[in-house]
A and B are shown apart, each in its own frame.
Chain A
């Protein structure tokens, strides 16, 4: 399976990929879910037009893992391929924080004997450079919390909101392939605006 995944990733006909390098619109098969999300959070959301093999980005589809919208309209949409045995995972998260641009803080819990110390820390930390795509200037974060733990995450601001995309650094993709995937994901993003 691993070999198959990697071989397909290198092939031109990756399922879900948009033609060429332009990202004109959210793919028709995926658009309904992303449009619904934009409507629910009452803010633009970013739809990918490319996903690392074997994933697609159809909300409600075979690869969707987490779909969560908070009371503050922040959302997490996650797509996961869980490989057999120890062959690895392909896990991509999309987040949005409508109406806020600050890095959120995540809860921490430290157990010391019978005592529990609770605190918070930035959900995205250890910035390591900038990656750009048309209309996006994203900061790369290496140390991330909760569903983004072990992921490399790109975060950027748009129209008063914070957005992120991240991918788990784990086989079958190599570290450099994951960096390439994230660059390609970032370049594939298109805005889907709320309707109605």
Chain B
């Protein structure tokens, strides 16, 4: 069956799709990536860690993300989380037993928002929530707007967010049913769906096929084998934090106090709308490179999609500031790397050496056609639109809210020493930022696996 834009818009495809809507096309457009079978191993203490395979793209090792992603946000439908704790844990453990913890199986990450801790377990939270002593603030902070965010960016207050990742849409459907339909604990506030990968083989990548099918303006301009709508490969191994680096305790600036949250991390969740047509019609390839990576990057072959971002390619703060003075521009990667990469070698508590230049954030972002969500309990407040729109559900794990904020501020030209690169919030000189519009943001805490169900409620 072949889908043209006319047929899609005419509703023929939409009418033929089931509950997953447009995302059922993912499985029609691409097969699940071939993955090496993994031996059965004990589940790690961390919830956010999932083993994914690697491929080589233009000579650079690249992580192959799970094909399907879904985030459900919710408020509690129970006034007694302590009584609900065992029921949710049983459901989660059943999913652990049923599926392997990898992309072929299912990744489940349960993250809890500040409203949960403040409303349901305030006294326990005061004692146990991790504290970021580098920032002098709790590790979990309310969401904030950043300089390039519009005034209308919604700062959310969900109690919980559950991230589901798998190559199999059916596995995600089973998990959603088990955690939300079959349990009385949550009132869903939003469903956010999307896809990633599918761009490393074949003549046309999944994001391009999906954008074309949905009639996204500028879809035809997306490079044929692009991993994401905006054209560059974002999951290269060196650009993602290694296994345990985003744990609260690994880099030493977050105090896990009594240890309840040791093995946990922080998750930021946001939705960004992407103006694909503007990106490809206003920025030529050279400008897309310099604004995505850094000014002065001249050795990038025309049409390249995977540009090496290893430790040796990292820009320093001084280099970023100097390049800005010279060109009036700073690259997305270069500015973020001033805070997202280690400035010196660090040895983790388990003896692991993290060399200078290592990435800290573990991104789990995925492209979406949600506008802005697949479903919302408050469609007016969330400004839900029926027409699909190109976007990104941005999911990232950092040791703390402040660590994420440092990276996000750097993306807007506010460097870690307080230097502000003088560029307007939505200026074309910001390149990347000028085609992104953040619609929603929230911070969450991801407890270790042993406390993933209604954390602190048992105390």
Cβ–Cβ contact A125 & B284, under 8 A: yes
Cβ–Cβ contact B221 & A142, under 8 A: yes
Q: Does A63 contact B (CB under 8 A)?
A: no
Bound-state Cα–Cα, A37 to B431, Å: 39
Which stretch, B56-64, B137-145, B253-261, B421-429, touches the partner chain A?
Answer: B421-429
Q: A110-B328, A110-B429 are in contact. Are A150 and B282 (CB under 8 A)?
A: yes
Cβ–Cβ contact B422 & A110, under 8 A: no
Bound-state Cα–Cα, A149 to B423, Å: 22
Which of A112, A125, A149 has a CB less than 8 Å from the CB of B429? A112
Residue of A nearest to B422 (CB): A113
Chain B residues numbered 285-323 whose CB sits less than 8 Å from any CB in chain A = 285-287
Residue of A nearest to B330 (CB): A112
Q: Which residues of B contact A149 (CB under 8 A)?
A: 281-282
Q: Which residues of B contact A117 (CB under 8 A)?
A: 327-328
Cβ–Cβ contact A169 & B281, under 8 A: yes
Chain B residues numbered 402-459 whose CB sits less than 8 Å from any CB in chain A = 421-424, 427-429
Cβ–Cβ contact A169 & B282, under 8 A: no
Q: Does A191 contact B (CB under 8 A)?
A: no
Return A127 CB to nearest CB of chain B, in Å.
10
Q: Which residues of B contact A126 (CB under 8 A)?
A: 280, 284-285
Cβ–Cβ contact B324 & A143, under 8 A: no
Cβ–Cβ contact B324 & A112, under 8 A: yes
Residue of A nearest to B216 (CB): A175
Q: Does A111 contact B (CB under 8 A)?
A: yes
Which of A111, A121, A125 has a CB less than 8 Å from the CB of B424? A111
Cβ–Cβ contact B281 & A142, under 8 A: yes
Interface contacts (Cβ under 8 Å), in number, total 55
Chain A's interface size range is 10 to 19
Bound-state Cα–Cα, A122 to B285, Å: 12
Bound-state Cα–Cα, A4 to B371, Å: 29
Q: Does B21 contact A (CB under 8 A)?
A: no
Which of A113, A150, A174 has a CB less than 8 Å from the CB of B281? A150
Q: Does B220 contact A (CB under 8 A)?
A: yes
Cβ–Cβ contact B328 & A143, under 8 A: no
Cβ–Cβ contact B217 & A143, under 8 A: no
Return B361 CB to nearest CB of chain A, in Å.
27
Cβ–Cβ contact A175 & B327, under 8 A: no
Cβ–Cβ contact A143 & B283, under 8 A: yes
Return B170 CB to nearest CB of chain A, in Å.
34
1/0 contact trace for A112-129 toward B, CB 8 Å? 111101000110011000
Q: A111-B429, A126-B284 are in contact. Are A175 and B329 (CB under 8 A)?
A: no
Return A178 CB to nearest CB of chain B, in Å.
10
Q: Does B252 contact A (CB under 8 A)?
A: no
Residue of B nearest to A122 (CB): B284
Return B66 CB to nearest CB of chain A, in Å.
31
Cβ–Cβ contact A112 & B284, under 8 A: no
Q: Does B277 contact A (CB under 8 A)?
A: yes
* A interface list, Cβ under 8 A from B: 110-115, 117, 121-122, 125-126, 142-143, 149-150, 169, 174-176
A to B CB contacts below 8 Å, 25 in the list: A110-B327, A110-B329, A111-B328, A111-B424, A112-B324, A113-B423, A114-B422, A115-B422, A122-B284, A142-B221, A142-B281, A143-B280, A143-B281, A143-B282, A143-B283, A143-B284, A143-B287, A149-B281, A149-B282, A169-B217, A169-B218, A169-B277, A169-B281, A175-B217, A175-B219
With A115-B422, A117-B327, A143-B282 known, 8 other A-B pairs at CB within 8 A are A110-B327, A111-B328, A112-B429, A114-B422, A126-B285, A142-B221, A143-B283, A176-B5
